[in-house]
Amino acid sequence: MSQFWIVLGQFDPIQSQSMSTSKKVIAREEWERKLKEVKIRKDDVNKLVMNFLVTEGYADAAEKFRIESGTEHIDLATITDRMAVKKALQSGNVQDAIEKVNDLNPEILDTNHQLYFHLQQQRLIELIRHGKIEEALEFAQGELAPRGKENRSFLEELERTVALLAFEDVENCPYGELLDVSQRLKTASEVNAAILTSQSHEKDPKLPSLLKMLIWAQNQLDEKAAYPRINDLSTAALEDTAI
């Protein structure tokens, strides 16, 4: 993929065959030749893969890859701890997740008020999910309402969450997406990023960002040239030039 960027910088479209639409045609043979000319350090690729495995929490895969690739040592304990928090949130056990975060570093929730609110909001959602209406109301009034008075955005999120109680069929109500598994994943991702930041790690893996840049670059190039495009990111296979 890194080769793609360098090829874009090296390729001179003026030397290519013109199309009737004024676009330039880049032949597959020429494109592949340019790719082969680009030299990418294996160590850089290994670091990119390791960055993704560590950030996303694939501890076993990271350790195996470390041994096979010879990359620098990693602290598997930190990955395991983060994944324990993530697993707790994905199963709806928010209080357990909060305790685990505090065991890792109590300053994370003490200093990140938005994150703490979102965790408490997730606790409220779980109470509503399990039909604990009275407990949910008491929790909303005692834990979340005071924070909503201090922050308008918190208040709006609280109002959306409490509105679930007004519907019998909560999953199909206007705010039903709060009960979807994606909401748990969203909260878990926010916590994961906060833990990584507290450990002086990058909160987001580099690989997805590079893939987004690849898509953007191809879309830009589509306006000026026809070339062997990568349509399937999972295989990175080059498609034949569309003329």
The CA distance from 62 to 68, in Å, is 10
pTM across the whole model: 0.71
Of 186, 235, 199, 191, whose CA–CA distance to 100 is shortest?
191
Q: What percent of the chain shows pLDDT beyond 90?
A: 44
Average pLDDT over residues 229-243: 83
Please return the burial class of 132, using the count of CB atoms within 10 Å of its CB with bins 0-12, 13-18 and 19+. middle
pLDDT digits (tens, 9 = 90+) for 95-151: 999 999 999 999 999 999 999 999 999 999 999 999 999 999 999 999 999 998 889
Average pLDDT over residues 53-57: 84
Please return the burial class of 62, using the count of CB atoms within 10 Å of its CB with bins 0-12, 13-18 and 19+. buried
Residue 3 pLDDT greater than 60, yes or no: no
- Reduced to 3 states (helix: H, G, I; strand: E, B; else coil), residue 44 is helix
Q: How confident is the model at residue 203 (pLDDT cuts 50, 70, 90)?
A: confident
HSE (side-chain half, CA atoms, 13 Å) at 161: 29
Per-domain boundaries in the chain: 2-40+205-226, 101-198
pLDDT value for 74: 72
pLDDT digits (tens, 9 = 90+) for 135-180: 999 999 999 999 988 899 999 999 999 999 988 887 788 889 999 9
- Reduced to 3 states (helix: H, G, I; strand: E, B; else coil), residue 18 is strand
pLDDT value for 4: 52
The CA distance from 165 to 144, in Å, is 15
pLDDT value for 138: 96
The CA distance from 115 to 190, in Å, is 7
